[in-house]
Amino acid sequence: MPHLHKILEKIEELRKKINDLGTLNHLTDPELLKVSQELDALLVKYQKLLGKTQQNKKSP
């Protein structure tokens, strides 16, 4: 579970960075796109880990 917490912290950090970059740059800025892709990958990882955690809780 601590691993999920660290991923959530990183997700929030990347969301803030995207917001900051979006206000300063055009939405097609390469740095903004890079951070967005990083966030997407992290969200997928989080969802997979969360699913495994919930499955483990259901198993007797």
Q: Which pLDDT value is given to residue 37?
A: 98
Is residue 55 situated within a structural domain? no
Domains identified in the chain, total number: 1
Is residue 31 situated within a structural domain? yes
Q: How confident is residue 57, by pLDDT bands cut at 50, 70 and 90?
A: confident
Is residue 57 situated within a structural domain? no
Is residue 13 situated within a structural domain? yes
Domain assignment of residue 10, given as a range: 2-49
Is residue 11 situated within a structural domain? yes
Is residue 16 situated within a structural domain? yes
23, 48, 49, 56 from 60: Cα distances, Å: 49, 20, 19, 8
Are residues 5 and 51 in contact, defined by beta-carbon separation less than 8 angstroms? Answer: no
Is residue 27 situated within a structural domain? yes
Is residue 18 situated within a structural domain? yes
Span 18-35, mean pLDDT? 93
pTM of the prediction? 0.82
Instruction: List the single range of 1-10, 19-28, 33-42, 49-58 with lowest mean pLDDT.
Output: 49-58
